[in-house]
């Protein structure tokens, strides 16, 4: 009886390990919208589209999105890979092995902000580009968002791409 119970426990642990990998996969559909629409959207990995658009990105990878439209100030948004809310439940259900598998491949992560909705600033208006929520309401300026996540995102995409001086890491070490 103990042998059957142990075999069942091992089988259940193996099946549940990597639960988010099975449920979510390592990629995520990522939507980029702009107000006004029709902006060129370029992701750090080279993907390009015209807003509104949806591309497939890796859940576990920070990135940068550059947005440009004639007549509007160009803007970039730093996209941060964060642990999703289901992560801790996954660890409880799938155990340490599940947490390690999902954490290692990024499947327990989500990208933020998601969806990306940006109100572009007219060239020369002096207004900032704004991040919007799903209802079209202002969340914060793109600059405020980037400043909030810049140091963390710079660890994976590099200082220059995150908008920091190239030697920022050396200055911080002193």
Position 58 scores a pLDDT of 86
Position 59 scores a pLDDT of 81
Q: Note whether residue 23 is domain-resident.
A: yes
Q: Note whether residue 168 is domain-resident.
A: no
- Give the confidence band of 166 by pLDDT, cuts at 50, 70, 90: confident
Element (H, E) at 18: none
Q: Report yes or no: 31 and 41 within 8 Å, Cβ to Cβ.
A: no
Q: Note whether residue 2 is domain-resident.
A: no
Position 42 scores a pLDDT of 98
Phi first, then psi: what are they for 140, rounded to 5°? -170, 170
Distance (Å, rounded) from C-alpha 155 to C-alpha 159?
Answer: 7
Q: Which of 27-41, 75-89, 110-124, 150-164 has the lowest mean pLDDT?
A: 75-89
**Residue 20 predicted with pLDDT over 50:** no
Q: Could you report the per-residue pLDDT of 92-115, keeping only the tens digit for each?
A: 555 544 554 444 444 457 888 999
Q: Which of the two residues, 99 and 133, has the higher pLDDT score? A: 133
Task: Count how many domains the chain has.
Answer: 1
Q: Report yes or no: 146 and 77 within 8 Å, Cβ to Cβ.
A: yes
Q: Domain range spanning residue 135?
A: 16-159
Sequence-distant (6+) residues with CB within 8 A of 103 are 87
Q: Note whether residue 62 is domain-resident.
A: yes
Residue 104: other Cβ atoms inside 10 A:
12
Q: Note whether residue 140 is domain-resident.
A: yes
Position 3 scores a pLDDT of 55
Mean per-residue pLDDT over the chain, rounded: 79
Classify residue 60 by its DSSP letter.
Answer: T
Mean pLDDT of 141-147: 97
Q: Which of 26-30, 60-64, 156-160 has the lowest mean pLDDT?
A: 26-30
**Residue 43 predicted with pLDDT over 80:** yes
């Amino acid at each position: 009886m103990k042998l059957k119970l142990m075999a069942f426990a091992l089988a259940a642990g193996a099946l549940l390990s990597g639960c988010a990998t099975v449920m979510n996969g390592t990629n995520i559909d990522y939507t980029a919208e702009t107000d006004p629409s029709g902006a060129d959207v370029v992701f750090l990995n080279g993907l390009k589209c015209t807003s509104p658009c949806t591309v497939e990105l890796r859940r576990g990878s920070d990135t940068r999105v550059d947005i440009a439209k004639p007549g509007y100030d160009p803007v970039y948004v730093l996209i941060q890979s964060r642990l999703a809310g289901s992560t801790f439940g996954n660890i409880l259900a799938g155990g340490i092995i599940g947490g390690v598998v999902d954490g290692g491949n990024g499947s327990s992560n989500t990208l933020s902000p998601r969806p990306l909705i940006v109100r572009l600033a007219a060239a020369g208006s002096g207004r900032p580009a704004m991040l919007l929520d799903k209802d079209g309401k202002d969340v914060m300026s793109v600059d405020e968002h980037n400043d909030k996540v810049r140091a963390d995102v710079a660890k994976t995409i590099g200082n220059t791409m995150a908008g920091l001086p190239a030697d920022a890491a050396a200055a911080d070490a002193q």
